[in-house]
Amino acid sequence: MFDFLESSRAKILTALLLAHAGIFYGMSRPEPTRVVKSLSEFPKEFGDWKMIQEGTLEKEEMEILKADEVITRYYANSKMQRGGNLFIAYFTTQRAGKAPHSPKNCLPGSGWMPLVNDKLYVDVEGAPPVEVNRYVVSRGDSKSLVLYWYQTKHRTVASEYMAKVYTVVDAIRYNRSDAAVVKVTLPVMNGDVDAATEAAKTFMRTFYQELNPYFP
């Protein structure tokens, strides 16, 4: 009996049981109500980027998404002669089956075919470089470049897997599971993916620090 308790199998089993207990404890406690700024108050102008259109989602789309707050806006930069879409879906909790949806699943369902799927780092002011997902998709003759990431008060991550791991960690440590998925989409002009990437990174840099007040 003693030999079994000292074995690697017993230690692994013990670790799994402790992890399960931690997850149950962290995810079963009621999350406190937090005051947070509404995404509807998110700036309509930052730097040289100005909002030109406020988008909306259909009721059916909102029911599938299950987000507590969503904005989808089109911004334009007259100096760069570029325009792009900013999409943010915020979830006050990820319990009861609510969680950010990966654009990798949503875009193909809308008829967009993936061409490039990788990760890159974006330098932002006042913070370490941010790792984001880059997704280049096509539909007919159109190509678009997508940068997206998952964000909370404590961190920004690109990996869907690590986002789920940190959800458990934060539930145990902070008793919270709120998170957002942030997505930037720009058209690829003249087939120049590198130029679209740099424009998307510039767009991201202008609003990244503005997101902090919206995560309590």
Q: Tell me how far apart the alpha carbons of residues 129 and 74 are, in angstroms, rounded to a whole number.
A: 25
**Dihedral through CA 112, CA 40, CA 63, CA 101, nearest 10?**
50
Between CA 192 and CA 20, with CA 102 as vertex, the angle to 5 degrees is 145
Residue 126 falls in which region: left (phi positive, over 0), alpha (psi -120 to 50) or beta = left
pLDDT per residue over 124-145, tens digit each? Answer: 988 899 999 999 999 888 999 9
Q: Tell me how far apart the alpha carbons of residues 188 and 184 are, in angstroms, rounded to a whole number.
A: 13
pLDDT per residue over 6-45, tens digit each? Answer: 556 655 555 444 444 445 444 556 666 566 788 999 999 9
Q: Tell me how far apart the alpha carbons of residues 65 and 57 are, in angstroms, rounded to a whole number.
A: 10
pLDDT per residue over 43-96, tens digit each? Answer: 999 999 999 999 988 888 888 888 989 999 999 999 999 999 999 999 988 877
Tokens standing for residue 81: 């002669």
pLDDT per residue over 193-203, tens digit each? Answer: 999 999 999 99
